[in-house]
Amino acid sequence: MSTSRITQSQITDPRCWSFARRALAEKRSETKRKPFWFWIEVELPNQKKQWYQLPKDLQFAMRQYLHERPKEWAKVLNGALINVPQSDYDDQGYASLTLGMIRQVKIRRQHTSISRQVSRSQFIMPEWTWYGLANKKQIKRFMFHDHDTGNRKNILAALRHWEIQFLLKKYFKIGDF
């Protein structure tokens, strides 16, 4: 009769565990992980700040960025312009939109099902808007691309507001851009 001695390292080393024990440990670790979502604080042209949840496609991109650059993810969207709803969506799926500036990004364990609290996927990074990589025609075409005339007017007015804010900061050191 042989007795096998089990060492402490074999108890804690998952490679020595049976398949069933490893599967159970993985299942437990998955249940401990709570889901999270990325939220952005957006400054609107009227200087009010509101929190919006990023849409699903941007959630996925931010999760990848968080994994690749864990120290830089919180600042990647700061200063970007993004389309956000200002009203509830009607039966045809239309809402009043405006263009806001992202001031900060946070991770929350809270998920929203309210459609007016979810931003749109259309955003432009600051290096494209203010430093000449895209011209105004390209910016307008991208931000307008499937919106009605009323929303186009709102977005254009907001784009002009943010451009004036940038120029005031750049040339006269006025304001917080």
pLDDT of residue 177: 61
pLDDT band, very low/low/confident/very high, at 9 (cuts 50, 70, 90): low
pLDDT at 82 over 60: yes
Distance CA 150, CA 157 (A): 11
pLDDT at 21 over 90: no
Distance CA 151, CA 135 (A): 20
pLDDT band, very low/low/confident/very high, at 19 (cuts 50, 70, 90): confident
pLDDT of residue 32: 63
Distance CA 21, CA 10 (A): 13
Task: State percent of the chain over pLDDT 70.
Answer: 87
pLDDT at 39 over 90: yes
- Rounded to an integer, the average pLDDT of 38-62 is 96
Lowest-confidence pick of 33-37, 74-78, 126-130? 126-130
More confident residue, 68 or 172: 68
pLDDT at 1 over 60: no
Distance CA 117, CA 120 (A): 10
State the angle between helix axes of 136-144 and 149-172 in degrees (0 to 180), rounded to the nearest 10. 140
